[in-house]
Amino acid sequence: MKCIVCRGPAVIDLRRHNANFCADHFLRFCRDQVVRAIDEHHMIELGDRVLVAVSGGKDSLALWDLLIELGYDTEGMTIGLGIGDYSAASTEAAVAFAERRHLPLHRVDLRGDYDYDIPTASAVTRRAPCSSCGMSKRHLIDKSALDGGYDVVATGHNLDDEAAVLFGNVLHWHIEYLGRQQPTLAERAGPGGQGSGTLAFPRKVKPLVRLAERETAAYCVLRGIDYIVEECPMAAGNRHLRYKEALNAVEAASPGAKQAFYFGFLARAAARFAPEADGADAELRACARCGSPTTGDVCAFCRLIDQVAGHDPVPVELVRPHRGGRRARTKARP
Amino acid sequence: MRVLLRNPRRELQVEGPLSVGKLLRQLDLNRESVLVVRGDTLVPGDAVLADDDVIEIRPVISGGALA
């Protein structure tokens, strides 16, 4: 198998592009795909301060590395989720990456800073861990970006992530989510509206949308980036993974199907759902506790804190991630 | 050859020589969901693995909560 560019020995075959690449030309391919995504979707302007949301996994570390390579002004942010050894190893990978490149990595720790963790939140709320995890991450990333005065937040969502989310949204016809599923989400004004001088949400971008997760993992291997390979123990069996498996089965039989699905949606369907997403913002106001934008009096993050902070930590092993699992008993500390 | 698999971590002995494509079919793995790593580099689908190779089959699907 030869590299499509230089005819040297290939190290990876990308069937969706009907192309094989040597290591050097594969890395160049990845950079080109990110440049194209940033340009096409007006993600980052020259001089923007970029906050990269870093988990320690392949996508976020590949993203940070690529943005550094492309010359952007980046800092990282990572959240300690308290998911046992998995979270400890994830944070370690993120810290090692930042230290090696002498770049700032801002750290938030759910247990240390807010007196809860994801396993405990799942046990107390009796909901799937991914629910409180995703909501906590979104809230804290937005808050860090706004507090720190960053122009844009970059996240490591890749083509597989976006295709799987799209698949789920179509399967259940979540049209307000379909209207908002874009590679770039523009910043939005605070509850005072345009001209109030405050932002409710920072601009959020997904520069990896043109790369499949097999490609971001390959990028890390070839760049010598140590990322956490182990899967989150709380994610096992979740819907997102099942959608990815289904799409990969289609992709194996029909290379290019995932990208046709996702990019076809962006080109030919997304705009039709935009009014639904616009309408969902109409009633935003400031959370009575923290000032974050919310549709009620108190935002979802503060309501979660009210419910789960102060409970004794529940070990990961006692929280079954998804259906059919055993539930842990929880106890509030006096 | 020694084959390291992840999630959960385990090790298999497989007789070589064998192409990467055949090995993945033998293990019933979707090539879209894994990378084959030998040393510090990747091995493409048509490469032949020798009987004394040590390789890692690394899953690439991650499914945690998205931010």
Residue A326 pLDDT level (bands cut at 50, 70, 90): very low
Strand partners, A9: A2
How large is the average pLDDT for residues A309-324?
A: 79
Look at residue A11 in the predicted model and tell me its pLDDT: 96
**A58 vs B contacts (CB less than 8 Å):** 60, 62
**Is the pLDDT confidence value at A324 over 50?**
no
SS3 assignment, position A77? strand
| Mean pLDDT to the nearest integer, A36-49 | 96
Please state, rounded to an integer, the average pLDDT across all residues of chain A: 91
Which residue, chain included where needed, has tokens 């301060």?
Answer: A49
Asked if B64 has any chain A CB less than 8 Å from its own CB, the reply is: yes
Residues 131-150 of A with CB under 8 A from B: 131, 133-134, 137-138, 141
Residue in chain B closest to A10 (alpha carbons) equals B44
pLDDT over 90 (residue A164): yes
Chain A residue with minimal CA distance to B31? A252
Pairs of CB atoms within 8 A across A/B: 105
pLDDT value of residue A200: 82
**Average pLDDT value for residue range A136-158:** 96
Q: At what angle do helices A239-253 and A159-171 cross, to 10 degrees?
A: 110
Q: What is the mean pLDDT of residues A311-317?
A: 90
Lowest mean pLDDT among A244-253, A313-322, B6-15: A313-322
| Residue A231 banded pLDDT, cuts 50, 70, 90 | confident
Contact with chain B for residue A230, Cβ under 8 A: yes
The answer to whether A11 and A23 are in contact (CB under 8 A) is yes
Contact flag A58-B46 (C-beta cutoff 8 Å) = no
Rounded Cα distance, A267 and A61, in Å: 28
Q: How far does Cα B62 stand from its chain's mean position?
A: 16
Cα–Cα distance, A162 to A184 (Å, whole number): 12
Please indicate whether, in this complex, the C-beta atoms of A221 and B40 are within 8 angstroms of each other: yes
Q: A142: Cβ–Cβ under 8 A, 6 or more apart, which residues?
A: A153, A201, A202, A292
When comparing pLDDT for B60 and A321, which is higher?
B60
pLDDT of residue A325: 44
Q: How far is B55 from chain A (nearest CA, A)?
A: 13
Compute the distance between CA of residue A160 and CA of residue A157 in angstroms, rounded to an integer. Answer: 8
CA distances from A168 to A173, A174, A246, A273 (A): 8, 8, 11, 15
A177-207 residue pLDDT tens: 998 999 999 988 776 555 455 778 899 999 9
pTM of the model: 0.92
With an 8 Å Cβ cutoff, is A241 touching chain B?
yes
Q: Which residues of A touch B44 (CB under 8 A)?
A: 1, 10-13, 20
Question: pLDDT grade, residue A243 (50/70/90)?
Answer: very high
Q: Flag if B6 and A230 touch (Cβ within 8 Å).
A: yes
Sequence-distant (≥ 6) Cβ neighbours of residue A50 within 8 angstroms? A44, A67, A72, A73, A74, A75, A150, A151, A152, A153, A154
Name the token pair of B64: 């945690």
Residue A327 pLDDT exceeds 50: no
Asked if B60 and A134 come within 8 Å (Cβ–Cβ), the reply is no
3-state secondary structure of A36: helix
Evaluate if residue A176 carries a pLDDT over 90. no
Per-residue confidence band for B16, with pLDDT thresholds at 50, 70 and 90: confident
**Residue that has been written with the tokens 């010598």 in this structure:** A224
The verdict on ipTM greater than 0.90 is yes
Q: Between chains, do A53 and B46 touch, taking CB under 8 Å as contact?
A: no
pLDDT tens-digit series, residues A70-112: 999 999 999 999 999 999 999 999 999 999 999 999 999 999 9
**Does the pLDDT of residue A274 top 50, yes or no?**
yes
What are the respective helix, strand and coil percentages of chain A, to the nearest 5?
50, 15, 40
Compute the radius of gyration of chain A from its Cα atoms: 20
The yes-or-no verdict on residue A331 having pLDDT over 80 is: no
Q: How many of the other CB atoms lie within 10 Å of CB of A234?
A: 27
Asked if B63 has any chain A CB less than 8 Å from its own CB, the reply is: yes
pLDDT at B57 over 60: yes
CB contact under 8 A, A252 and B43: no
The predicted pLDDT at position A285 comes to: 86
